[in-house]
Each structure stands twice: as C-alpha cells, then as structure tokens.
Amino acid sequence: MTLSGELLKGIYKENPVLRLALGLCPTLAVSNSVINGIGMGTAFTFVLLGSNIIVSLIKKGVPDKIRIPVYIVIIASFVTIADLFMAGFAPKLHKALGIFVPLIVVNCIILGRAEAFASKNSLGRSILDAIGMGIGFTLTLVFIGFFREFLGDGKVLGTPVMGSSFEPVLLFILPPGAFLSLGFLMGFLNWIDSKKVRK
Amino acid sequence: MRNIIKLSSILTLVTAIAALALAGVNTITKPLIEEQMRLAVHNALLEVLPEASGGVCVDVGEKKGELFEAYSSPDTTGLAGFAFKAYGKGYSSTIETMVGLDLNGNIKGIKILFQQETPGLGSKIEEIKYGKSKPWFQEQFKNKNAERVAVDKDDGEIKSITGATISSRAVTNSIRNGFKKIKPRLEKIIKGEQK
C-alpha cells in the first residue's frame, strides 16, 4: 500500500467506527456535542500515536507470549499521561469527558491497531496509520456530535443558533439519539458503497 | 523455567519504564492540577459572595474546601458572610453546590460545582437561557433564607425544572440541610466576632 493510502484508509475506507465497527462505546457516549468529540478524538489520537510508535519500535524485542500485557501497559501509560495533562490544562473538558478518558485504555481500536498493524509494520507506516485512524475516529465523533447537538439542543459548538422559539428534539441528546445517528450514518455509507458497486 | 524468567524480566522492565515515565509526568502536572482545583473553588467563592471580592475567604471547615469565612477586607476584619459546599444526591450524580450566605443566613448566590445529571433535563440546573448571562435556576436562590428554601412542589419558592424535579429538589434540599448542619457553628463564629 502507498504511504498516502496508509494515512487515508483510516478516514473512509477502513474508518474504525463506521467500517470496522470498533470503539462504539465511547462513540455512543461522548458524541452529544462537537466539543466533546474534538476533545475525545484528540486524546484518542495522542494515545494511539504514542502506542503505535512504541509498539512498532519494540516489536522485535517482545516475545509473542507476553505481547498483550506489554501492549496494555504501554497503552495505559499513554492514557494516564493524556488524563493528567487534560486535568491540568483543560479541566472543563476533562470534567465533561469524565470516565471516558481513562476508558480509552480498553478502547479496542487502539489495541487492535497495535496488534494488527504496528507490531507488523515499520515505524513510519505505524505513525501514518495512527494519524489516519485518529482523524477518522475524531471526524466520526464530531460529525455525529454536530447532528446531536444541533437537533437535540439547538446549538453549534455550545452557541445557541436557533433562537429561543426552537424546540429541540431532546431524544437526540439522550442515548437513543446516539444509536439512531450512528445507525443512519453507517447505513448511509453502505448505501453509497452499494451504488458504487452497481456501476 | 528459563523461559519464565526471561518473560517476567521483560515484563518487569516494561512496567518499570512505564512507571518511571508516569512519575515524571505526574511531577509536572500535579501542581497544575492543584492550581486548577484551587482556581475553581476561588472563582465559585467570588461568584457566590461578591462582597468578599476585595477581601479574603478563609477555609475553616473540618475538611478542606467545605466551609469558608468571608471578610470584606484582606486583613480578616469585617466578617461579611460564609460560604459552604452542599452535596445532594440527584438523579444520576451527586450534585456539588457552593453556597454563599450573609450573616443572617440569607443566600447571596449559589454555584453548581459538579453535576452529571441527564443532559437536556437535569443538567438544566446550569442552563443559561438564550441572551442571558446567568443560569436562571441558580439565580432564583438569591436573597432566599437558607433555612426555609424549598422547591414549589414542597410549597417553597424555588421553581423546579420541568421534567427534572429530582435534580431541582436535590440542589434545594442539599442547601437547606447543609445550612442546618453548620448553623450552630456559624452562630458561634458570629458571637465570637461581636465580643
């Protein structure tokens, strides 16, 4: 695969959430506003980039039998670093994301990329893979977050845009709205794909 | 056997390096996080007790950050009021509120410090309406007597949020109960001040 393909595959063709259906838990939980999506996506990309770099660097030194505990220690360390920095520099965002920052440890996209990609590929490709997957995850969260915030709260990035007469569709801010938005988005992408195949 | 030793020593090495890195990061961020927490409390105090903005707030609680005496001048003279932290069990979280009082037990202002209530319903305890600058629910508490404050469903004066009676009641009741708990101490402090 070309280097640019390595970067771009995470955004559309192999989008971790919409295509591989991984990491659905944080997607459903923190996609109720755009800013939450940006914060979660940034923290996630930082952790994925860190873990992909380290895993790719030490891939030859790690015996097969203990690779999973080694990967998890690496991932958990980066998550803790991200958590501490967020608490120190962006306390509001840290409060809004709450438990979902520590839970990046068990986000299966990150372990999945370490196991399926970084442990088998060169450092450069692993970095591109992490950036691409991170952008793909962030874009998905921001996209769903935009719709849920707009329909469910009448706001864009926390600023009311619909005026006081707008009656928000509360359902979209609540958990069912997450399932609905994600389902429609996945369905829409599949529909586009099926049209392409027919041609 | 030799394999076990090899595997465990590699794993030990990995975790040791990780621990070292985390310790390093922690020394950098610890003062930052403490400063952020102090700032959050400080800002909340200024908001609920504007009288103390030129003076100082002294932490007098048994636990840190629970009860404050507010003075109108920096040299701890001129007792202006009190602030205390109230905890109320809401619908999906324990709501923390900073409450500012004058010397007669009237509420000067409240500020929700922490809540994780249902977005769009209970979270409206912090809602700022379109075109306004302050949250309407919290504004209602101004100049109400802390000992008698109650929501409308309990024959009080606080208008509860539609669809979020539990959250509204949690805030209101936590303030009333919190005040009752510290009232004897406040009376003692005021008496001491007058001597």
pLDDT digits (tens, 9 = 90+) for B69-108: 887 777 767 788 888 999 999 988 899 999 999 888 899 9
The reported pLDDT for the residue numbered B66 is 79
- Nearest CA among A60, A109, A95 for reference residue B33: A95
In tens, the pLDDT along B11-53 reads 999 999 999 999 999 999 999 998 988 888 888 888 888 777 6
Quote the pTM value.
0.76
Out of A84, A98, A152, closest to residue B120 by CB: A152
> Domains in chain A: how many in total?
1
- Mark yes or no for CB contact B32/A73 under 8 Å: no
Beta-bridge partners for B83 = B68, B100
At how many degrees (to 10) do helices A123-153 and A175-198 cross? 120
Band of residue A5 on the pLDDT scale cut at 50, 70, 90: confident
pLDDT of residue B142 exceeding 70: yes
- Distance separating alpha carbons of residues B26 and A127, to the nearest angstrom: 26
Q: pLDDT confidence of B131, banded at 50, 70, 90?
A: low
Nearest neighbour of B119 by CB, restricted to A63, A163, A173? A173
Residue A53 belongs to domain spanning: 3-198
Per the CB < 8 A criterion, the answer to whether A173 and A32 are in contact is yes
Please identify which residue in the block is written with the tokens 């500012």: B100
Residue-wise pLDDT for A174-188, tens only, equals 888 899 999 999 999
The listed range with the strongest mean pLDDT (A83-97, B150-164, B166-180) is B166-180
Per residue in A43-71, pLDDT (tens digit) is 999 999 999 999 999 988 888 889 999 99
Residues of A in Cβ contact (< 8 Å) with B2: none
A to B CB pairs, distance under 8 Å: 67
The answer to whether B119 contacts A174, with C-beta atoms less than 8 Å apart, is yes
Whether the CB-CB separation of A173 and A153 falls below 8 Å is answered with yes
Task: List strand residue ranges (DSSP E) for chain B, in order.
Answer: 56-59, 67-71, 79-89, 94-101, 107-114
